Amino acid sequence: MSEQSENINELATALAKAQGRITGALKDSANPFFKSKYADLAACWDACRQPLSENGLSVIQVPESDETGVTVVTVLAHSSGQWIRSSLHMKPKDTTPQGVGSAITYARRYALAAFVGLAQVDDDGNAASGKGKSDPRGEVEHRDEVDEKQVDKYVSLFTDALNCDVEEDERARMVSALRAELAGKNDLFIAVGDRLEPKQKSAIRLYCEQHTKAMRENVSGRRG
């Protein structure tokens, strides 16, 4: 059941402006660590954080728990003081930290998407409910082992590529080449992504997008 302040006219106006700029949550192939159909909580925030902030909107999410499961209370607030609030209850597949964490993350992701009108595709719902494989971002434990030496190798290679003293176009090419090497190696993909810092992953995503755009422009120029 949702609740709201007495008036939401200013909030609704601000949200309409923000939604005009909110895009899908990283569903394209330029995403370096997730399947193209998958967008995790961080990706959802990346897609909507700036449009919301620029229009005086904020999202507050607070997890609660009891014997029946976990509940995430989400509030969409406006700088005018107007607000909308709703709760989403989830029953984790088990009471381990991983199971509870997965359910909370799942609830936060879907509540955020529903509040701001963000399009994204389910992938970790099965993990939260106990069906299928674990969450691709690692909110629950990985079930397939990976070669830690390979993980170390790619973490080091990505870190070096991001920090080396080269032109931006060359850095984008290097990062994209590393990302291409991991294509199809989903478990290794996941493990490497878990080891990199959020800022590194954001930079990798941007460089991949930059390189893809440059390649498309190059092809279009040849055709022209």
Which amino acid would we find at residue 52? Answer: L
Retrieve residue 175's tokens.
């990062």
In the chain, where the domains are located:
1-143, 145-224
**Average pLDDT, rounded, for the chain:** 80
pTM of the model: 0.53
pLDDT tens-digit map of 49-93: 899 999 999 999 999 988 889 999 999 999 999 999 999 999 888
DSSP state of 29: T
Phi-psi region of 94 (alpha: psi -120 to 50; beta: other; left: phi over 0): beta
